[in-house]
Structure 1
């Protein structure tokens, strides 16, 4: 009786460990997007603004035909990681495309010394980012991600300045999902860091 009990107990622990290991290896349903901070500077220290994102995409689906067939599920939310140098600095949470870009812009601006207000206040400059494209597809065994937006600086007196930005990233599909995630992170980083924030705030 005691031997049978011990055998059952051992089996229980074996299956429990296997379950934990399998759970740890299970892939997250959310694609990881890594935003790489540009070089830290305090050149805009003391500036404060409000950031607004408008979703102007005509195509709301992120995945193209081949990418959708590969992942077998839509990609509507992303797990955003903040990176500085070669290492991930923090996991910032789950975001849909508009909030993904808003958070990336916020992180970049704060890295430049800008205070990003949570509310729109009178007299505070506003940067309105109109997100026009954010996509991922698989063509000729290559991941291709694209992003496009127009940023407008506004004040209480009206329009100040605008800038349109386009970004494209490509990577050969060797590691599958990991390469897709790298491409998404590259296009997010490239397009967000392209914006001339200093000019917008002049």
Structure 2
């Protein structure tokens, strides 16, 4: 009798406060089981919310990378290099997609007299938008930077694999966003950056064989 009065009193108090009353069974074991089940359901709901948040975040990051890749249009790095060399003959040293504003490919070309040009290519059509000579390409300078530039130019001219071929080789790893020469302690090779399925890759392409390997220094 006293037990029933206590249960009735607790139930009335919970209803008066606007709370949710857990069903009390006649035995203590049943009440404990009901409370344990409620706790399990709450934890499952929390875990589901956490998983949903993680999935949404991952999807957002991947979508951002996909939009960036799409902005390059149908013109590949190899296409941009070919268009630049047709407009400004010489040796292509680098190609880079500049995604500021409307976005353009920018190809660095050095001509036979040592003059260096930045040739801009439209990513959608492959049209040459302009070519600007680099005012800092003074071949008479003895600075370390100019010396490195001359060494890279010599390496590119003597290579069996040019910038366009390096871009084509790296394209097997994903969409190429940048290609250029990299001097690693005197060992010069082509270096390329790619994006595939929202993931970025760094690669080296041998000047002689065109073999593509992962750039461990950038891993």
| The two structures share one fold, judged by TM-score above 0.5 | no
Structure with the higher fraction of residues in strand conformation: 1
Structure with the higher fraction of residues in helix conformation: 2
TM-score (norm 2): 0.25
Structure with the bigger RCO (C-alpha within 8 Å, sep 6+) is 1
In our comparison, the structure showing a higher alpha carbon Rg is: 2
